Structure 1
Amino acid sequence: MSQTALERRKGQLWHFESNPRCNGGLKNAVESVGNKLKKKIWVGTLGTCTDDFLETTRRDIDARMYTEHSSVPVWIPDAEFSSCYDEFCHQVLWPALHYAVPDAPKTKLFYESASYKQYVAVNQRFADAIIENYREGDIIWVNDYHLMLLPLLLRASPRIPPSAPIGFFMHVAFPSSEIFRCLSVRRDLLSGLMAADLVGFQTPNYARHFRQTVSRIMAFEALPKGIRIPEGDEARLVKVDELVRVGDLKEKAHDSQEPIAATQAEKVLKAGDDDVVKALERERFVDVGSFPMGIDVKRLWDKRQEPEVDDWVSMLRQRYAGMKIVVGRDKLDEVQGVRQKIQAFERFLERYKEFQGKVVLIQVALQTTETNELAGGVSDAVSRVNSRFSTLTYQPVVFLHVQDLTFSQYLALLTVADAFLVTSLREGMALRTHEFVECQEGKENPGGLILSEFAGSYSYTGFRSCFAVNPYDTRGTADAIYNALTMHSEESKSRWTELHNHVTTQTAQAFVNSFLSRVIRAHSEHYLDDIEDVPALDLTRVLPRYRHSHRRLILVDFEGTLWRRDLTRRGLQAYLEGDFKIPEAPLEALKNLSEDKRNDVWLLSGLPVKDVLERVAEKVPGIGIVAENGCYIKTKPAKNSPAGEWINLVANSNMTWKSSCLEILHYFTERTPGSIVEERQASIVWRYWTGDPHADTSDKQWARRQAAEAQNHIFDSLGERYGLRIIPGKNSFLVLPGNISRSTAVGAILQPGGPASSGAAIRSPRATSPEYSTAYDVASPIISISATASHITNSRGLASEVDFVLVVSSDEPLLRRMNEIEGADAECVTVSTSKRGTDARWKLDLDEGEPDFAVDYAENGSEEVKEVGRAGNVVVNALGRFAAVSNFKN
């Protein structure tokens, strides 16, 4: 919190003053937007010891903080806060997030560790404060690594509705998965973040690291825009969190000798609100993005005009007249690279002797704790440099580490600097570099910015005009100092102009506006209404419109909707050997629908063409088929092709990845009992668990860990190189080309005049994400896909002759896409067959028994019903009603 409450024990008087440990960049950024935020409330700690505060004093502070500073204090016992903040946050999380492998003997980081328990307790206190002050319509913005569990604690509360947008922003770096996975509480921390609608980072690299880490550790699908959490997994995350919250039960729950503790922990969850649990069970999408933080340029300019700043500028120029000034300002911790900076400056004085006596490094180093082990080492390095190069009138390094400068002194120092040196080993966003650039405005020869490649600022193109350095390369850094101090006037102006353009574009206002607008957009796009709000398919309302339509487009999922396959090891082995039977009931329903000339019927499947869908094509020749989730399409019969033809939509894709992918999966298959590799023509499925799907045995847990490792290995070695997409399932995952999906295949079908187009081609459904923005061109006799351009987004209407669309699917992107088709007289009926929340306009409840339909293709209890499954029988009967209407009409 930006204000600190101090109590004077005599008379119990107290006052507010600025908190030096608050996140100044965030405070200034939020304040920079001014009245654009109609009402905001800061929730945070007071930044001082509070155990001795009287209850009456606390109430007075609460009242004044709220009315005068729009703030709500979180009262935390001093020992609890110290253990959380000083031990877990700064000794465990901070090093790990900045690429230092956690040192368990030093940090004592175990589940029984008091510091982690206090971290959980502090997060819970923040959650309680937010819950108490939450009002309908509020947006919750959680900031930084101190509160990584908070989003999930909020989501698990029945007092925070699912309609509440929650955003989380990480102000510091985020490491690769190899580092983060070393944390013993890694899953709990990731679970906390996954409850937010948006997780933001300073740079695209940190966002990418986060997506890869979640994919590897949690086995969720990582997409370029975020993380897809499968149905049911969110509830599992809540259980993990509830185990954390009951403290000692966490330790016992991880002990196989204490099953009772786990049962007790389960009761904690079950005591919660059923609606919350149901909401968290559904498939969710968590946006992940980068939002570069900036400064309030106008506020800084106004501050620079103050007379006090001019006075200090004059004094500094007089004090260091005739000398070059190199400035640095960093926190004195392991990741800021202060020691490396001193070593590089020493090397600079050694290599460029002409600068001895003519250059000074003024290093401001802020200690992060009262007892900082690093301070001694840095002081020794400073003493060594000064002892080597000092004279009676010259001291090369001015080391200020006892007291910070005033802001006016700091701005004056940035103004007179000839170079600004940042040698961070890792850093989120070095806003001091932005301040340096603006303080150089108006100078005839602006100073040079020497910036570590590992600072977040360097990730952005606008900062590439700096002098980039590797802080571990002392010689290279020394050369950069020389180049910055000796560059000619035109070069200095050119470099500064590029830096200035970035700083004045990526401002504090832009940061706040972009993050909050993205939170709202992400929530509105991915928040799924309660499943009960989607009505069950009412054929009495739909069939009359179907009956009176003249041209219809019908899209139906196959497996999981019409056909529930046997995914046990025995069933899969039979399937791979070709010893399986496709049930007749769904094929008969499709055939009856296709016999109506007004119907364009398409079957959507992830199964391969060979030996599977080619059988379907033989038995039901009048339909179109999408195979392997969009990799292949079989067109409907036409005059020049009575049986239709198979079109390869990945013909122009580089498929050499398959051999390497198979090699990886065979390696993991040998080490995962019961797992099976299913190779298809353009995709590969690894079924890592073929036992009881509802089991939670040690074997299944091992299989899940192997699956996460395999996915991460495939993504790291092949994913970006070949543009692959990895889609996790409950007990399997699919690898296929990244620009392919059932939705893009339907786009090819709907593209007028396209190679797979049908008579129901549309004039372009609106594309709301890159997944939908795919153009289809005839570049060769075989279709190719170009994901770099799209002419599908020019209009949004159906072809004039199409007046009815029926989509029966569990594919949410497809359902959303078809909902957006607009036609003057078209009726679009989207039906979800999934249990989870949906954007479809109707649902088929597959667990409530058979609907009262007139046409039944199978009797209850027959072998056919067992092959089709309850879900398939429900859908078959529904399609049967449509077919019956067609036959009646004919």
Structure 2
Amino acid sequence: MPTFVTPSRVSSAADLQLQKVTLDHADLLSRSNTSATGSKNSGADGSSSNNKLGNAETTTVPTIDQQEPFITIIAATHYLPVVARIEKVALSPSPGISDNNDNNPESVSNTSGITSSSPSSSSYASGNEASDSTNIASPFSEKYQWKLDRRRGHTAMYAGIKSLSRQSNQRCIKIGLLGKVVNPKGHHIDPCELPEDAISKLREVLWENDMYVPIIVPAQVADDHYEGYCKQILWPLLHYMSWDDSAVPMPSWWTNYVEVNKEFAKTIAEKHTADCYIWIQDYHLLLAPAFVRDHVPDARIGLFIHSPFPSSEIFRSLPNRSEILKGMLESNSIGFQTYSYSRHFSSSCTRVLGLESTPTGIDYKGSIVNLGIFPIGIDIEHTESRRTGPNVKAKMDSIRRMYSGKKIIIARDKLDEVSGIIQKLKAFRSFLELYPEWQNKVVLIQVTQPGQRRIPKLETKISEIITSINSDYGSLEFCPIHHHTSFLDTDEYMALLTIADLGLITAIRDGMNTSSLEYVVCQSETHNPLILSEFTGTAGSISGAILINPWDFRNVADMINSALMMSNDEKNQKHRQMYQHVVRHSTQRWAQSFIDDFRKAILALTTYCTTTKIDVSQFTDVFNTTNRRLFLFDYDGTLTPIVNNPEDAVPTDTLLKTLEKLCSDPKNVVWVISGRDAKFLSKHLGHIQGLGLSAEHGCFIRYPDTGNWENLLKKMDMSWKSDVRKIFEFYTERTKGATIEEKESSVTWHYRNADPDYGLFQAKECMNHLENAVVSRLPIEILVGKKCLDVRPKAINKGEIVRRVLLSTDSPNWELIVCAGDDKTDEDMFRALRIDMRNKLRHRTHRGQQRVSSGSGNEDLFVSTPVVPSGAASETDSISSQMTLGGITGSGGEGPARKTVVSSLYPRRRSAPDTDKQPPFYFLISVGPSTKKTKANCYIGKPEALVDTLAIISGVLEPKPSSSLPSADADADDEE
């Protein structure tokens, strides 16, 4: 078996230069298909050169201020932008690695070699074909080295990602599938068949070249993922097509789609550091954000979708629609090529998952997923460099001689159903029919590149139409359509774009057509027009192009004639508009703009999200060392999970035993302050001795051990309810699925079962109606809840109940106050407690007993400074960043993307607090993710985690063996 050895380092200056630039060299993009990979270039994108961009004004790529901290970007793409190739090196008997192949501009110079002392077993050379082994027999040792060839396709994306490392305060790690490797015979082999030492050396080569990190999966798994689920299910759906009836979905497609996404997440997590921003690319990895978050809860995750995103009516037909959307929504920022794609995504989230959204974000699990529009561009400088090369000039002269005296229309498309080749050919036939004066005076050069898969029916139909047109309108000397069915040499492609009299793009669905952008750059001297399908993403961002509907053959024919007859002045004007846009929106700008917007979104998130996960060990320490404790709990979503049918949210046995145990301890006072009515609370919790209850958001109260409910509304005028009900009835009649719920203290309009979009529209209309007709003249307010509008008196809320409890004449000086809630109505409780904290601070300051924690604030357990309620002026704003609530930092610092704040803000695990620390200790607990806007100072994942924590500290449950208390995260994202 051959073994890999580490060769001598490249030492000469020439070798060092080659090692640095070989992969990016312009010659790499101009080579024909001569490498073992069989790859040719299909486009003009690549790395930058220093050529000028004509007379157009260029816009610099936006950069982060140099004083910003250094960051690492992990960019995950389906494949790495390189193909690994094993190259055999001719050797003398002496050891070492030959540099004979270092002059090959197609490849990255080797940094690792392979030797074989037993040629008969060499799978590297044979491709597992026994007959090939005889080709290696010689008295010398066989030696091989890894070479990296550029992978065809997606050059704009790869160039943009690569440019991120050019910023002085950024580095970019590129993660992707390795794919099959190419052996010296040109055969593609599964890398899983290679020995581990070979893969190890390849990993070294990839990392040293440009921080590439390969993901290696079995060939069948990769095939099911890409050729199966991606290409047979997702790609057609995203391009507004139904998947082929003949392509029966295989169960392994989805299974291995999930598996590959998990592998990406695992690799990303291994490379993740505290300064990381993760950027995941396209529909191949839609589940990766969710799996990454399983590994790294506080990860900052961005996702960009290069393909179109269909309307919700199309997307809803996908069997795994919910899993796909939820996977995407675990990102912090999602980018699209156009606004319409973003809008369709928001609509799908609303209709499939029932989420609320705005044009710039989606409310998912208590936090906002940022949506942005980032149209991709091309590498302008490299395109200009290739266009002006000496080989291109020779090709241009040859083409001009071939089609002398004729107008040239250029079109390049992939062979697939959405490229619009059939529509283009039919429109061109109409053009020749309607404008016979152009016959024998115009030629359409159609370049049809092979797609990812063969489509025999489409190939046959295209050939038939071309043959028919050439037969009807051509002659022995001339054919009106010249059809090229393979990849063009880059120089030939540049020459065609430069000499063309018209560019014609008729795609019926395309994310962002980079061919049109390359055409504009190549026309910087001749300024000829471009006809562009309105169904491409490019059409929405580039002005100056002639937009057409590919299905309207007559109109396309008219536009071809108009374009060929266009005056020079009009050509110049239209081209100037297109050229300025293309130059200002390069692929480098696209990449950096997304990262900058991504970072701003994270910063905005952490500006208002100041909660950290509760330190349950510290919480139990405080519980065990205090004697006067007050517990205030919401019910739904706090002590029990949110369920579709409210009547099913009954307390568990663990919850009942925990409340009973807490209430039986004379050191504790326990209240449940809920939006439920008094009947429900009495039925399920009324039997617990010593438990205080409040119903309907503070409208009714039952003090511990009294058994009697006090109506706080009995002296209030409730006549407004009839007016509100009439308005609700008006909208209920016009909104299918809407219902009205009337309680003694409030009237609620529910639209959860209505059409999501129409229900939200009607809710906004209803709210405006209420504000103008009723709310503006009466002491009532509207609460916007989850798919509902709740109208109630202003003077009554949960915060008022908290104030009553705190001001009760028999209330002691509390040493520990715990308040837990999950929604907007519970913010009134948190606000009331923060006011209480501020008042105690003033009293303590007056007595000269104020303590301010040092450093991060994690050492002290008492409140040093409260946060003033929203909307109130604060004399304590200047020191609010030093506040320590319940031992948890209250604000400050750039934090995480989602579930938690960065680890540097975590409160340290500690034993019992020092005796000189002063109570009261406040634990204001938000149940749900850390990114929720809240007045709480800490969070716990979900109701089950809160109940388990309370059950353990009260002695109802035994501590878990692995930890004294359950994790505060506790999969907060499992519940809506």
DSSP 3-state at the match of 1:834: strand
User: Where does residue 241 of structure 2 map in the other structure?
Assistant: 100
Q: Displacement of 1:583 after TM fit?
A: 5.0
CA spacing shift, 1:176–1:133, aligned 2, 3 Å: same
The residue identity in structure 2 corresponding to 1:100 is: M
CA spacing shift, 1:92–1:533, aligned 2, 3 Å: same
Take 1:387 and 1:410, find their aligned partners in 2: how far apart are those partners?
27
Take 1:613 and 1:342, find their aligned partners in 2: how far apart are those partners?
77
Take 1:420 and 1:724, find their aligned partners in 2: how far apart are those partners?
54
**CA deviation digits over 1:709-742, x for unaligned, max 9?**
x2134458998999999xxx999503799xxxxx
Match of 1:436 among 519, 536, 554: 519
CA spacing shift, 1:161–1:677, aligned 2, 3 Å: closer
Map residues 556-595 of structure 1 onto 2, 5 A cutoff: 564-566=674-676
**CA deviation digits over 1:414-467, x for unaligned, max 9?**
111111111111111111111111111122xx111111111001112xx23211
Match of 1:127 among 265, 283, 298: 265
Take 1:228 and 1:499, find their aligned partners in 2: how far apart are those partners?
37
Match of 2:435 among 333, 349, 352: 352
Match of 1:212 among 336, 347, 353: 347
1:42 aligns with 2:174: yes
Match of 2:321 among 166, 183, 186: 186
Take 1:451 and 1:816, find their aligned partners in 2: how far apart are those partners?
56
1:511 aligns with 2:590: yes
User: Where does residue 668 of structure 1 map in the other structure?
Assistant: 737
Map residues 135-150 of structure 1 onto 2, 5 A cutoff: 135-150=273-288
Q: Displacement of 1:349 after TM fit?
A: 0.8
1:490 aligns with 2:600: no
1:59 aligns with 2:184: no
1:83 aligns with 2:245: no
DSSP 3-state at the match of 2:84: strand
DSSP 3-state at the match of 2:162: helix
Contact 2:162 2:172 in 1 (8 A): no
DSSP 3-state at the match of 2:423: helix
CA spacing shift, 1:41–1:439, aligned 2, 3 Å: same
1:449 aligns with 2:530: yes
Contact 1:323 1:360 in 2 (8 A): yes
Q: Displacement of 1:16 after TM fit?
A: 3.0
Structure 1 gaps of 5+ residues are: 231-282, 537-558, 572-579, 589-611, 620-626, 629-645, 649-655, 670-674, 689-705, 738-802, 805-814, 850-890
The residue identity in structure 1 corresponding to 2:598 is: V
Take 1:422 and 1:91, find their aligned partners in 2: how far apart are those partners?
25
Take 2:715 and 2:359, find their aligned partners in 1: how far apart are those partners?
35
Report percent identity of matched pairs: 28
User: Where does residue 384 of structure 1 map in the other structure?
Assistant: 468
1:24 aligns with 2:155: yes
Match of 2:362 among 227, 237, 251: 227
Map residues 408-423 of structure 1 onto 2, 5 A cutoff: 408-423=491-506
DSSP 3-state at the match of 1:174: coil
Match of 2:788 among 722, 730, 734: 734
User: Where does residue 478 of structure 2 map in the other structure?
Assistant: 394
Contact 1:685 1:732 in 2 (8 A): no
The residue identity in structure 2 corresponding to 1:200 is: G
Q: Displacement of 1:3 after TM fit?
A: 0.8
1:303 aligns with 2:303: no
User: Where does residue 600 of structure 2 map in the other structure?
Assistant: 521
The residue identity in structure 2 corresponding to 1:484 is: A
Larger Rg: 2
Take 2:497 and 2:417, find their aligned partners in 1: how far apart are those partners?
24
CA spacing shift, 1:480–1:192, aligned 2, 3 Å: same
Structure 2 gaps of 5+ residues are: 1-79, 87-124, 127-135, 137-141, 181-188, 620-636, 639-670, 682-694, 704-710, 771-782, 792-840, 843-866, 884-889, 891-921, 948-976
Map residues 827-838 of structure 1 onto 2, 5 A cutoff: 834-836=926-928, 837=930
**CA deviation digits over 1:839-876, x for unaligned, max 9?**
65654999999xxxxxxxxxxxxxxxxxxxxxxxxxxx
Take 1:100 and 1:568, find their aligned partners in 2: how far apart are those partners?
54
Contact 1:177 1:210 in 2 (8 A): yes
1:686 aligns with 2:750: yes
User: Where does residue 711 of structure 1 map in the other structure?
Assistant: 756
Take 2:84 and 2:178, find their aligned partners in 1: how far apart are those partners?
6
Take 1:47 and 1:826, find their aligned partners in 2: how far apart are those partners?
56
Q: Displacement of 1:90 after TM fit?
A: 0.7
The residue identity in structure 2 corresponding to 1:170 is: I
Contact 1:562 1:586 in 2 (8 A): no
Give the structure with the larger helix fraction.
1
**CA deviation digits over 1:768-805, x for unaligned, max 9?**
xxxxxxxxxxxxxxxxxxxxxxxxxxxxxxxxxxx99x
Take 1:309 and 1:569, find their aligned partners in 2: how far apart are those partners?
84
Take 2:553 and 2:330, find their aligned partners in 1: how far apart are those partners?
43
The residue identity in structure 1 corresponding to 2:156 is: G
CA spacing shift, 1:585–1:716, aligned 2, 3 Å: closer
Take 1:736 and 1:479, find their aligned partners in 2: how far apart are those partners?
58
User: Where does residue 912 of structure 2 map in the other structure?
Assistant: none
Q: Displacement of 1:476 after TM fit?
A: 1.2
* Alpha-carbon RMSD: 4.7
The residue identity in structure 1 corresponding to 2:787 is: F
**CA deviation digits over 1:31-77, x for unaligned, max 9?**
34551163212111234242443333222211111111321111111
Q: Displacement of 1:228 after TM fit?
A: 0.9
Take 2:357 and 2:286, find their aligned partners in 1: how far apart are those partners?
19
Question: Higher relative contact order by CA 8 Å / sep ≥ 6: 1 or 2?
Answer: 2
Take 1:370 and 1:28, find their aligned partners in 2: how far apart are those partners?
25
User: Where does residue 367 of structure 1 map in the other structure?
Assistant: 450
User: Where does residue 799 of structure 2 map in the other structure?
Assistant: none
CA spacing shift, 1:722–1:841, aligned 2, 3 Å: closer
Contact 2:395 2:495 in 1 (8 A): yes
Take 2:612 and 2:466, find their aligned partners in 1: how far apart are those partners?
63
DSSP 3-state at the match of 1:156: helix
- How many residues of Structure 1 are paired with residues of Structure 2 in the alignment? 609
CA spacing shift, 1:614–1:486, aligned 2, 3 Å: farther
CA spacing shift, 1:330–1:661, aligned 2, 3 Å: farther
Take 2:872 and 2:160, find their aligned partners in 1: how far apart are those partners?
37
Match of 2:556 among 477, 484, 488: 477
Q: Displacement of 1:136 after TM fit?
A: 2.7
Deviates more, 1:510-519 or 1:562-571: 562-571
Match of 2:614 among 529, 532, 535: 532
The residue identity in structure 1 corresponding to 2:737 is: F
Deviates more, 1:820-829 or 1:427-436: 820-829
Q: Displacement of 1:664 after TM fit?
A: 5.0
Contact 1:718 1:724 in 2 (8 A): no
Contact 2:164 2:172 in 1 (8 A): no
**CA deviation digits over 1:494-531, x for unaligned, max 9?**
11111112112222122111111122222233354423
Contact 1:83 1:119 in 2 (8 A): yes
User: Where does residue 795 of structure 1 map in the other structure?
Assistant: none
Q: Displacement of 1:663 after TM fit?
A: 3.9
Contact 1:337 1:423 in 2 (8 A): yes
Take 2:423 and 2:767, find their aligned partners in 1: how far apart are those partners?
39
CA spacing shift, 1:309–1:530, aligned 2, 3 Å: same
Take 2:769 and 2:147, find their aligned partners in 1: how far apart are those partners?
55
Contact 1:430 1:457 in 2 (8 A): yes
**CA deviation digits over 1:321-380, x for unaligned, max 9?**
211111111111111111111111111111111111111111111121352232222122
CA spacing shift, 1:26–1:369, aligned 2, 3 Å: closer
Contact 2:84 2:149 in 1 (8 A): no
Q: Displacement of 1:125 after TM fit?
A: 1.8
